[in-house]
Every structure is written in C-alpha cells, then in structure tokens.
Amino acid sequence: MKRLIVLLSILIAAAPTKADWQPDDSKMQVKAEQAIAAFRDRVPRTEAYFDQAYAFVVFPSVTRVGFGFGGAYGKGIVVEANQAIGLSKYWQFTSGIQAGAKSFSMMIFFKDKQALEYYQLGKTQFMGQAGLAFGTAGVAGTPAYNDGVAIVTLTRLGLMGEFTVSGAKFTYKPLTGE
C-alpha cells in the first residue's frame, strides 16, 4: 500500500494551428514532437485534427495506475499558431472497476479560440471511461469535437482494464508574458 501511495504521488489567435510546430531543444518539447509523430503514424484519423485545430496540447507521457481507486499524472505543452505558448499538467482520480497500470500519450485538440481559453482557466472535468490496454495496443478518444474539444490517447505500454468514473484537473501556465 505504501508503494502504491508513493507511485500515485509521483504521477501528475487567429491562425489555425498546424502540427508544423518545431520543438526547441528542451527535453519536454523534443518528447512532445516525438509523441506528435507517433500519433500521426499510428492514429491516421488525427491528421484532420492537426490540420483543422485552432490549438492543441500534447502530453508525451501520462502514467496511470489503478486497482479499485486510481490516478494519473502527466505534463504537456500547449501549442497555438505553431508556437509553444504554455505548459499544462494533468491529474486524474478514478474510482470503479479497474486494475493495472499503463503509460500513454494524450492529445487535446481545440476547435477554436474559445475552447482554448476555457481550457486555460483550468476547471475540473468529470468523465466516465472504459478501456483496455495490453502491451502497446490501445487507442481511445472522442470521435468528434465535443464542446470544441477532441481528446485522443495512444497507449505507449501497459496492461489495464477499466470501467470507471473520474475527475480530471488540467492546469495551464503561460511560457512567457501572457
């Protein structure tokens, strides 16, 4: 139980944005670009989102652990008009039928400026989810924009089954002068 607690503690404009964004030399931005390439390669349906989205957030690695109760944590980069404009963190608490652990990448696409601005407020979101991840197999996401937001995840590694209710918290911190 002590190890689980320690593990969970470690876990957390006008121009449309295309994924032509180029990372600087920071480790986080390089990992973000690698995650974008993986989405384009393994999830072809994201191409339309990359072409049409006003902005997006890429979380290169989110770690999730659950057994009855669970949690997830990840850090990401917010990109608008091909510029990294901020950093984001993701926390999730889950309760339900679940067991396992997984690491995944997550993309959040914003259809318009209004959806991005709402995200930047950092309000808690509640959601339900069901899924299965085995090894590196597993892709999930919304089939279309919902309230101006589309979320797609891509399993990196793990073994997890779930049918849960969760609360998620996203935070946003501008990079410079916003």
10 neighbors 73 (Cβ within 8 angstroms): yes
pLDDT number for residue 139: 53
Q: Could you give the angle at the alpha carbon of 130 between the alpha carbons of 125 and 132, nearest 5°? A: 130
One-letter amino acid at 154 equals: L
In which band, very low, low, confident or very high, does the pLDDT at 144 lie, cut at 50, 70 and 90? confident
- Lowest mean pLDDT, pick from 42-51, 73-82, 139-148, 152-161: 139-148
Confidence of residue 165 (pLDDT cuts 50, 70, 90): confident
Three-state secondary structure readout of the chain: CHHHHHHHHHCCCCCCCCCCCCCCCCHHHHHHHHHHHHHHHHCCCHHHHHHHCCEEEEEEEEEEEEEEEEEEEEEEEEEECCEEEEEEEEEEEEEEEEEEEEEEEEEEEECCHHHHHHHHCCCCEEEEEEEEEEECECEEECCCCECCEEEEEEEEEEEEEEEEEEEEEEEEEECCCC
Contacts of 84 (CB under 8 A, 6+ apart): 21, 23, 24, 29, 77, 78, 175
In the chain, what are the domain boundaries? 2-174
pLDDT for the residue 161: 83
Tell me: the pLDDT tens digits for 2-44? Answer: 443 333 333 323 233 344 445 555 888 899 999 999 999 998 9
User: Across residues 87-116, what is the average pLDDT?
Assistant: 93
* pLDDT confidence of residue 142: 58
Residue 100: left (phi > 0), alpha (psi -120 to 50), or beta?
Answer: left
pTM for the whole structure = 0.79
Q: What is the mean pLDDT of the segment spanning 140-152?
A: 77
Question: How far is the C-alpha of 107 from the C-alpha of 61, rounded, in Å?
Answer: 10
Higher pLDDT, 88 or 2: 88
